[in-house]
Amino acid sequence: MDRAEIERRWAWGKPFASRYGLAVLCVAGPLIFGSVAPDLALSYLMPGTPHTLVALLPHAPPDAIASRFDFRPDVSAKSDRAAATSGAPSKDRGAEETDEIVARDRNTLFGARDIGGRVRYVVASAFLCAVSIAAFGYGAAVVVRRRGRLPSWGPWAVFGGFALLSIWLAFNSAGFERIRPLIVESILEAADAKQAWQTASRALVLVRINTWVALVAVGTLLTALYTASLRCPGRKPDREDLLRRREIAHWVLGFGSAILVISVFASEILVDWPASLLAKSQQAALKPMGEALTLLLGAMGTIALFAAMAPALAAFMLDVHRYRAETKPEPEPEQRSVAPPAEPAPKPAPPADDGLGFAPLPVVTAVVAAFAPLLASSLMQVAKAFLL
């Protein structure tokens, strides 16, 4: 292939890449860097369940369920909150309260913590579904309004594709599907045997519904960001359209940040609920896996959010620079004067603000989105004590 042929093909593909390249990255970037790449890496590093943790897998024989977990919680829920809000060593602070929990009260404490965990997770699920539905409504409205030449059924076909993809992701994420059963389903299954009910499978169904609803909302927001990142190299940029694109990007970032934070918070509740039913020694043994699961969700969500917003911001700023270059007033010709000027020439006035900067973005939303994984750290335990 000679140089002329390469230039001819590039001349054909350049307008297509200029119009669709960054917009496609708004959707492909989060899928690749926020889902596919971490999933492949975890599949490579965790090919299966370690032999030392095989006993924790759910669906064990009935005689083994009762022996692998010690359902004797040591401290009351009130003492747990005091431990989170105080800096004193837990051994000295909770010794007196621990001694007050006699054998006959441990079953009561077990049931109370089980009910409390279920209520907290249901509340977090309700918040997550409410925000996800609002995000889906906004994203769908944007896509339908900016669908261009697509038929009216085109956006709904895209939403259906994201719904199917979300089902697959909800069932086939290597990290979550290999860690969560060890610290959630297995404990709840054993707790059901003690409570004489069968709700572990229902909890798993609720987890998958939450995951599916959140992913569908995220897919709709990514589609809306795609439509707002399409460029028109052969047409003069319109200021009103640029303002609408910036507003869409702000709303997408706000909804995405809210979904990410609530998802991380719900994940931590889901991890803490089964662990709170166990004795302190088993809680300490399972704690690293719970923290890893919550950190994984927060980190993947943060990476996906940045991968989506970076191309959208680049597309917006490129069109803003082109708009400013095309609407820049021409300088007036200098008038030569024979006589020397009596006063020094005034400094040129700074360019007027056209209101097209990306600065009006709410700073709090961006900071929360960037540091959402910190919800899984000890720095957030004080806030959790008051919220939970």
pLDDT of residue 48 exceeding 90: no
Question: What was the pLDDT predicted at 96?
Answer: 43
What is the percent of the chain where pLDDT is above 70? 70
Q: Where are the domains of the chain?
A: 16-84+101-325+359-387
Q: Which of 110, 122, 330, 115 lies closest to 206, judged by CA?
A: 122
Write out the E strands in the chain: none
Sign of CA dihedral 202, 206, 212, 213: positive
Split at pLDDT 50, 70, 90, the class of 6 is low
Q: Which of 237, 268, 343, 233 lies closest to 117, judged by CA?
A: 268
Average pLDDT, integer, range 30-54: 87
- Both tokens of 168, joined, read 């697959």
Of the candidate ranges 39-43, 174-178, 299-303, 345-349, the one whose mean pLDDT is the lowest? 345-349
Separation CA 60–CA 68 (nearest Å): 10
* CB atoms near residue 380 (< 10 Å): 16
Which amino acid is located at 272 in the chain? D
Question: What was the pLDDT predicted at 367?
Answer: 47
pLDDT 10s digits, 118-145: 999 999 999 999 999 999 999 999 999 8
Q: Which of 56, 70, 65 lies closest to 277, judged by CA?
A: 70
Round the average pLDDT of the chain to a whole number and report it.
77
- Both tokens of 25, joined, read 């990255």
pTM over 0.85: no
102/48: higher pLDDT = 48
Question: What was the pLDDT predicted at 141?
Answer: 93
pLDDT of residue 8 exceeding 70: no
DSSP per residue over 89-128, as a string?
-HHHHHHHHHHH--HHHHHHHHHHHHHHHHHHHHHHHHHH
Average pLDDT, integer, range 329-347: 57
pLDDT 10s digits, 241-288: 888 888 999 999 999 999 999 999 999 999 999 988 888 888 888 899
Average pLDDT, integer, range 29-37: 91
